[in-house]
């Protein structure tokens, strides 16, 4: 791997980082999904991921994306999402950040109506970042996801805290969902060490099991993350209010309410009759940032009753960077301690 200088723009969505990199070497594959497979097996691209994600330029919970050409002219751009352990199939908080970036930089001209659709090809399919703006200011971004559906409900999973009930849902990636209070925990910073450990346990049990199989595309199989949630009742308008944290990859913690994870919660709650079409999920993160999510439409996908989730959040630029690699630095591409 030969790296000299890499330019990046950083955003955060609900507290979760997203590092945007435009200049990426060409990758084989006619679609973004195929390019993800190629990236996993390309030592230069994977080395670039580690260079930007690992310490000392990143950290164990860093997240970002490489911009690539879309599948066809129907989308504005394509993206490969990455984290410390590899390349993911979906990322809602990253899609929200990309929408804010695309309109804020003029990559996609803002619609005078104040609603601009930024269409993005991701490994799990085609999604939309619907950017809401007032003048030149972005006021919010709606992440319109791929069809999302409950795969399995009430799976009994053995853990160090006893057997827990788990729902498994596909939302661009496959998530296991656990009621934190059912195992004596709260979604708060004080419980984070235990939540990380238990999230890894649940993923380890389910990851290679039939419960983690995608019904039509094996590239999307595997448990991507474990969502711990608490039910905090309803607001004055009857909207369900929850708090959650997603432990994804190998012990990474999503600071935001997790875009694709919130999508999974929308599908799960809709399937269980908790979230109706006229209401929205108020989903709060472990750092108190909030996504508002609703059922945008109902459909059928892969033989399942599915929904199109719409997740509203915000993203803000935190910096612009030019990362360099000194040829004498023997710690390139970097390291992680967790």
Which residues are designated catalytic?
91
Measured distance CA(243)–CA(188) in Å, rounded: 9
Measured distance CA(208)–CA(91) in Å, rounded: 21
Question: Would you say 130 and 174 are in contact if contact means Cβ atoms under 8 Å apart?
Answer: no
Taking alpha carbons only, the member of 94, 78, 143 closest to residue 117 is 143
Question: Would you say 196 and 338 are in contact if contact means Cβ atoms under 8 Å apart?
Answer: no
Distance separating the N- and C-terminal Cα atoms of the chain: 23
Query: Count of CB atoms within 10 A of residue 156's CB?
Result: 8
In the numeric block, the tokens 């804010």 are attached to 100
Measured distance CA(76)–CA(308) in Å, rounded: 20
Taking alpha carbons only, the member of 183, 1, 210, 171 closest to residue 89 is 171
| Token pair recorded at residue 218 | 């094996």
| Token pair recorded at residue 211 | 């419960």
Helix, strand or coil for residue 172?
A: coil
Measured distance CA(20)–CA(66) in Å, rounded: 6
Measured distance CA(36)–CA(170) in Å, rounded: 19
Question: Would you say 287 and 278 are in contact if contact means Cβ atoms under 8 Å apart?
Answer: no
Q: How many residues does the chain have?
A: 338
């Amino acid at each position: 791997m030969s790296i000299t200088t890499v330019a990046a723009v950083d955003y955060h969505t609900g507290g979760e980082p997203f590092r945007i990199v435009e200049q990426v070497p060409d990758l084989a594959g006619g679609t973004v999904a195929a390019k993800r497979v190629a990236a996993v097996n390309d030592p230069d691209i994977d080395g670039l991921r580690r260079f930007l994600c690992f310490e000392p330029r990143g950290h164990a919970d860093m997240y970002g994306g490489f911009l690539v050409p879309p599948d066809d002219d129907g989308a504005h751009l394509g993206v490969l999402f990455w984290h410390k352990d590899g390349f993911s199939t979906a990322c809602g908080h990253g899609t929200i950040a990309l929408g804010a970036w695309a309109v804020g930089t003029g990559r996609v001209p803002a619609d005078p109506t104040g609603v601009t659709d930024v269409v993005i090809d991701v490994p799990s399919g085609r999604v939309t970042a619907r950017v809401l703006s007032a003048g030149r200011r972005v006021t919010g971004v709606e992440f319109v996801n791929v069809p999302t559906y409950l795969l399995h409900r009430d799976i009994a999973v053995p853990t160090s805290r006893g057997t827990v009930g788990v729902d498994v849902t596909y939302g661009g990636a496959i998530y296991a969902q656990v009621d934190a209070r059912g195992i004596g925990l709260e979604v708060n910073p004080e419980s984070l060490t235990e939540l990380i450990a238990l999230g890894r346990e649940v993923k380890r049990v389910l990851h290679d099991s039939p419960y983690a199989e995608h019904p039509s595309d094996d590239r999307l199989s595997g448990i991507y993350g474990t969502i711990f949630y608490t039910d905090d009742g309803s607001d004055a308008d009857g909207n369900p209010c929850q708090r959650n944290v997603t432990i994804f990859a190998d012990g990474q913690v999503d600071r935001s309410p997790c875009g694709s994870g919130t999508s999974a919660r929308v599908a799960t709650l809709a399937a269980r009759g908790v979230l109706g079409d006229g209401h929205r999920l108020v989903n709060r993160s472990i750092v108190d940032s909030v996504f508002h999510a609703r059922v945008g439409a109902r459909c059928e996908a892969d033989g399942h009753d599915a929904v199109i989730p719409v997740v509203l959040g915000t993203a803000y630029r935190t910096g612009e960077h030019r990362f360099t690699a000194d040829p004498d630095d023997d710690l390139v591409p970097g390291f992680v301690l967790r």
